[in-house]
Structure 1
Amino acid sequence: MEKVVFVQAMENFQLQVRFDDGVEGFVDCCDKLYGSAFEPLKDPVKFAQVGIDDFGAVCWPNGADLAPDAMHDDILNKQQKVAENPPQYGS
């Protein structure tokens, strides 16, 4: 399992993450901020308190955490879709 080695909160509840295998990208957390652990993170100040626990998972001081494998797969899937369908400019 890959571990998160860098995380930074961005605007609009996005996370920039980098994994120990070099995969890097953005994770949109807007649809993840529900339930008792995640509701408080709708406050941008609290969301910005993101960190990494001893197991390489993204976490917050209130105990909320995100599984690294799901984020890793999400980033790889997004990168694959872009590679398969690159943006068309100036047709």
Structure 2
Amino acid sequence: MESVLSVHPHDDFRLEIRFNTGETRIFDARPYLEKGVFAQLKELSKFRQAFVARGTVCWPDDLDIAPETLYIRSQPL
């Protein structure tokens, strides 16, 4: 199973993610910014607070996206 090793948030609401597979991929978070609790990430300063915990990308207030989703819905860099 894929897990996240590092994340770099970009100002265009994309995440540059390095996975334990050795791949670096780009995940476009914009579609999620209109959904439920993720709407708070529309504020760029909040989006930039992305960090890695428990093998996935997280934000304050217990927000996270499953590593499988991040991998499947991302594109190779």
TM-score by length of 2: 0.88
Structure 2 residue aligned with 1:68:
67
Runs (5+) with no aligned partner, structure 1 = 80-91
Q: Distance in 2 between matches of 1:41 and 1:74?
A: 18
Secondary structure of the equivalent of 2:12? helix
User: Aligned residues, how many?
Assistant: 75
Q: Is the 8 A contact 2:50 2:57 kept in 1?
A: yes
Please identify runs of 4+ aligned residues in structure 1 that moved more than 6 A. none
* 1:7 aligned counterpart, secondary structure: strand
- 1:16-73 superposed Cα distances (whole Å, 9 cap, x missing partner): 00101112111000001120x21111000000000111x2011001211011112212
Larger-Rg structure: 1
CA RMSD of aligned residues (A): 1.2
Higher strand share: 2
Q: TM-score, normalised by structure 1?
A: 0.75
